[in-house]
């Protein structure tokens, strides 16, 4: 029975089987033991027509009751931003999304140039010298940064601020669990940032890297310069993760502040939350470490006629050449998502990106003001924040959030499950998508 995805007609099958001297398709599988084949039946329903399938998916979607973006105050690693129409237009171009990794540059200049531009844009945002072509996400980026530090510094210890997003720390732990690296967590203070006294104490000559996140999981901005100086003094690298790259539009870049690696999730740069992905992890470092970079790199070159062109380069770092000696096992990365990020930055541009960051900051500051002054709630942390912050509520957070949900607001993330000592705390994120009226409703609801 013919299917729209399968072009083989009965007549085609006859002709092809004759050409391969087989009586039927089963004959092609003779290398497979009989009993394996006998048991291989798929107990799955029959295929669906396009119309029925669309209806089924729409049914599933109607069992997802996510509120309008204006009532969304969840952050904590995934942010509620506007996606310009241009971004989806770009990643919907067939030639971008139906192509493979650009191993054949003569028919892949589109992807290659776009990724070369992406690398440049990430360097501009982070103030670093080189960026790779993307990693899976910020969390595995943190793991790769620690592995890089381990290779570069040949020291086993990794100091991780506890104010780093718990998923980042969890993934780093998983990635390093097979190795001899040792992860030590450094507590945070009442400011909501890394405890520098504790850091000072933990810093010894066994430390390869100090990793912090800024803004961190509480939305607080870390003093990267001071932390970097401490790390460097001890001969360790400063790894500067970032929850929210829009903050680069208003916060000094990690490169200037002394970071050796800057990384994070690129979701805010034009990608929908999509219940967790796909997004992309950006990863940038100093020129000195370029041969230690994990993942792909696009470089400039020229063709036989002297025309400029782009190619994948420095592949001797990678698994398909170096195998077990590679800097990372990554192969497929997040190319299309990185392209979306580049298109987002190109569309917003210098002015738009600055404006966006500024409005996020202003909205969050306004929210803090009304929550404090009008709802009368307190903030457990004192450090400055970008577009999210922690607020302490007076009732069980789940109850508070449940009430807000009934009003069409997703009011924040309860921090108790991640930080038992913060059982009354809610992480609230405010972006350009939240109008003043929704912020005011949120404040009222948090109080109640």
Partner 1 sequence: MNVKPGATQPLEPLLFEKGSPGRVGWSLPPADVPDVDPDAIFGKGAARGPVEGLPELSEVDVVRHYTRLSRLNYGVDVGMYPLGSCTMKYNPKLNEWAARIPAFARSHPLQPPEISQGLLALMHALERILCEVSGMARVTLQPAAGAQGELAGMLIVRAHHKAHGNPRHKVLVPDTAHGTNPASCALCDYEVVTIKSGPTGLLEPAAVAAHMDEDVAALMLTNPNTCGLFETHIREIADIVHAKGGLVYYDGANLNALMGVAKPGHMGVDVMHFNLHKTFSTPHGGGGPGSGPVGVVEPLARYLPTPIVNLRDGQYVLDDVPESIGKMKSFHGHVGMHIRAYAYALALGGKGLAQSSRYAVLNANYVLERLRGAYHVPYAGRVMHECIVTDKRQNDHGVKTLDIAKRLMDYGYHPPTVYFPLVVPGALMIEPTESESLETLDAFVDAMLAIAREAEEDPELVTGAPHTTPVARLDEVEAARKPILRWTPA
Residues that bind a copy of itself (CB under 8 A): 2, 50-51, 82, 84-85, 92-94, 351, 432-433
Residue of 12, 204, 373, 395 that binds partner 1 (CB under 8 A): 12
Q: Which is nearer to partner 1, 302 or 394 (CB)?
A: 302
| Count of residues of this chain found to bind ligand PLP when the rule CB under 6 A is applied | 2
Among the listed residues 52, 331, 396, 398, the single contact to ligand PLP using CB under 6 A:
331
Binding residues for partner 1 restricted to 319-338, rule: CB under 8 A: 319-326, 328-337
Which of 23, 154, 305, 421: binder of partner 1 (CB under 8 A)?
305
Sole binder of partner 1 in the list 207, 211, 356, 393 (CB under 8 A):
356
Considering only 154, 177, 406, 421, the residue that binds partner 1 (CB under 8 A) is 177
| Strand stretches in 162-229, DSSP E | 182-186, 207-213
Q: Does 205 bind partner 1 (CB under 8 A)?
A: no
Residues forming beta bridges with residue 135, ordered by sequence position: 281
Taking the least distance from each CB to partner 1, the nearer of 89 and 233 is 89
From the list 57-65, 148-156, 184-192, 197-205, the region that binds partner 1 by CB under 8 A is 57-65
**Nearest-approach distance from CB 186 to partner 1, in angstroms:** 20
**Could you say which of 71, 81, 116, 442 contacts partner 1 (CB under 8 A)?**
116
Contact 268, 244 (CB under 8 A): yes
Please count the other Cβ atoms lying within 10 Å of the Cβ belonging to residue 434.
25
Question: How far apart are the two ends of the chain, measured CA to CA in Å?
Answer: 62
The answer, yes or no, to whether the previous bond of 278 is cis (omega within 30 of 0) is yes
Segment 208-227, which members bind partner 1 (CB under 8 A)? 221, 223, 225
From the list 270, 267, 205, the residue with the least C-alpha distance to 242 is 267
CA distances from 64 to 16, 54, 56, 81 (A): 46, 16, 13, 19
> Which residues, 6+ apart, have CB-to-CB distance to 33 below 8 Å?
none
220 binds, among a copy of itself, ligand PLP, partner 1, none (CB under 5 to 8 A by kind): none
The item of a copy of itself, partner 1, ligand PLP, none sharing an interface with residue 268, based on CB under 5 to 8 Å by kind, is none
Q: Is 133 in the site for partner 1 (CB under 8 A)?
A: yes
d(CA 5, CA 69): 36
Least Cα distance to 237 among 328, 132, 145 occurs for: 145
Identify which of 415, 411, 412 has the alpha carbon closest to the alpha carbon of residue 442: 411
Shortest distance, position 354 Cβ to a copy of itself, whole Å: 14
42 binds partner 1 (CB under 8 A): yes
Pair of tokens at residue 55: 């209806």
**Judged by CB under 8 A, how many residues of this single chain contact partner 1?**
214
Q: Which does 130 bind (CB under 5 to 8 A by kind): a copy of itself, ligand PLP, partner 1, none?
A: partner 1
Tokens 């299917």 -> residue: 3
Q: What's the burial of 152, exposed, middle or buried (CB within 10 Å: 0-12/13-18/19+)?
A: middle
Q: Which of these, 206, 213, 205, 208, lies nearest to 147 by C-alpha position?
A: 208
Q: Is 426 in the site for partner 1 (CB under 8 A)?
A: no
Of 237 and 401, the one with the shorter C-beta distance to partner 1 is: 401
Q: Using CB under 6 A, pick the residue from 94, 177, 332, 351 that binds ligand PLP.
A: 332
CB 270 to a copy of itself: min, Å: 13
User: Which range of residues in 45-53, 151-159, 198-206, 228-236 is near partner 1 by CB under 8 A?
Assistant: 45-53
Q: Rounded to whole angstroms, how far apart are CA atoms 261 and 342? A: 20
Closest CB to ligand PLP among residues 136, 353: 136
Phi, psi angles (nearest 5°) of residue 389: -160, 165
The rounded distance, in Å, linking the Cα atoms of 245 and 267 is: 8
Phi-psi region of 277 (alpha: psi -120 to 50; beta: other; left: phi over 0): left
- Residues with Cβ < 8 Å from 417, sequence gap 6 or more? none
- The region of 149-157, 228-236, 341-349, 387-395 touching partner 1 under the rule CB under 8 A is 341-349
Contacts with ligand PLP, residue ranges (CB under 6 A): 331-332
């Amino acid at each position: 029975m013919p299917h729209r995805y399968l072009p083989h007609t009965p007549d085609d099958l006859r002709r092809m089987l004759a050409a391969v001297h087989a009586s039927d398709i089963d004959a092609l599988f003779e290398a497979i033991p009989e009993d394996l084949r006998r048991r291989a039946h798929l107990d799955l329903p029959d295929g669906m027509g396009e119309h029925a399938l669309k209806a089924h998916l729409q049914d599933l979607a109607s069992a997802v009751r996510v509120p309008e973006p204006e009532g969304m105050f969840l952050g904590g690693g995934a942010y509620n931003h506007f996606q310009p129409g241009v971004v989806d237009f770009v990643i919907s171009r067939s030639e971008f999304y139906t192509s493979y990794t650009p191993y054949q540059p003569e028919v892949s200049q589109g992807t290659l140039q776009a990724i070369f531009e992406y690398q440049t844009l990430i360097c501009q945002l982070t103030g670093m010298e080189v960026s790779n072509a993307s990693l899976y996400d910020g969390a595995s980026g943190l793991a790769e940064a620690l592995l890089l530090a381990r290779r570069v510094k040949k020291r086993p210890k990794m100091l991780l601020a506890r104010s780093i997003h718990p998923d980042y720390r969890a993934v780093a732990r998983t990635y390093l669990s097979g190795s001899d690296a040792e992860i030590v967590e450094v507590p945070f203070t009442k400011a909501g940032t890394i405890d520098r006294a504790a850091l000072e104490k933990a810093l010894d000559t066994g430390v390869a890297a100090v990793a912090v996140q800024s803004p961190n999981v509480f939305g607080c901005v870390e003093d990267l310069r001071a932390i970097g100086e401490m790390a460097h003094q001890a001969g360790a690298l400063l790894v500067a993760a970032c929850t929210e790259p829009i903050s680069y539009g208003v916060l000094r870049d990690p490169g200037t502040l002394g970071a050796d690696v800057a990384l994070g999730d690129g979701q805010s740069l034009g990608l929908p939350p999509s219940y967790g992905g796909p997004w992309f992890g950006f990863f940038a470092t100093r020129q000195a470490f370029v041969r230690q970079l994990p993942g792909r790199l696009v470089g400039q070159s020229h063709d036989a006629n002297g025309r400029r062109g782009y190619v994948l380069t420095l592949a001797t770092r990678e698994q398909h050449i170096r195998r077990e000696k590679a800097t990372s096992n990554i192969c497929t990365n997040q190319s299309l998502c990185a392209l979306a990020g580049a298109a987002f930055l190109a569309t917003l541009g210098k002015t738009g990106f600055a404006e966006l960051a500024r409005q996020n900051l202003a909205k969050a500051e306004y929210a803090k003001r009304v929550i404090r002054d009008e709802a009368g709630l307190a903030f457990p942390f004192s450090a400055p924040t970008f577009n999210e912050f922690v607020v302490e509520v007076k009732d069980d957070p789940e109850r508070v959030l449940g009430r807000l949900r009934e009003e069409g607001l997703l009011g924040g993330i309860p921090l108790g499950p991640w930080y038992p000592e913060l059982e009354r705390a809610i992480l609230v994120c405010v972006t350009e998508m939240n109008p003043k009226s929704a912020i005011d409703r949120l404040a009222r609801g948090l109080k109640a």
